[in-house]
Amino acid sequence: MEIELSKIKASLSYGKVVSSRWLSIIYFGIVLGFGILAGGLFLAVAGIAESDTNSLIGSILCFTFGLVSITVYIRILVSCQKLNKNIVLWLGDAVNLKAYSETLDFTTGYPLKVKIRVHYNLKGREHTQDSGGYMVGSKRRSEYHKIFFKYADREIDILYSPRYDQVMILKDK
């Protein structure tokens, strides 16, 4: 059974899987950041040629904003690409199963985030797995995600990877 990455909506451990549309927006943000850097360079050259302090201040602001935006978008992109790479690994031995999810807890306020538990049957044995809680470096990743609200307290389609012990939630049909 061949499942595409685009059919997976979330990972129980990591939360929402970023779609290709959002990846396009991230790439656009990186390109825009480089455009702002180029504008800062243009302002710096113009400010030096004209001895204009306002252009030099504008160029410093452009450089700062451009570098910050590039850094932020690249961090987001690396995180998304790492998750996508992991999911491709997990798909290698994934089994398509029906599961039932239940709400364990939720946050109050905006946005509403939910912690869920998924119950599934694999080879005649009942299994349960809770969302999140894995370690990233020295920090524990949150088990509460907004995407789980859509999949809480109902029957869902999942892919389970026995080798990596990972649950992936498939998009609704």
Q: What is the pLDDT along the chain (173 residues), one digit of tens a residue?
A: 577 888 999 998 888 888 888 889 999 999 999 999 998 888 888 888 887 888 888 888 988 999 999 999 999 999 889 889 999 999 999 999 999 999 888 888 788 888 889 999 988 899 888 887 654 555 555 778 888 889 999 999 999 999 998 999 999 87
For the full predicted model, state whether its pTM sits above 0.85.
Answer: no
> For residues 130 and 115, is the Cβ–Cβ distance under 8 A?
yes
What own/partner pairs with CB < 8 Å and gap ≥ 24 does 123-130 have?
127/160, 129/12, 129/165, 129/167, 130/12, 130/104
Q: Residue 141: its pLDDT value, please?
A: 58
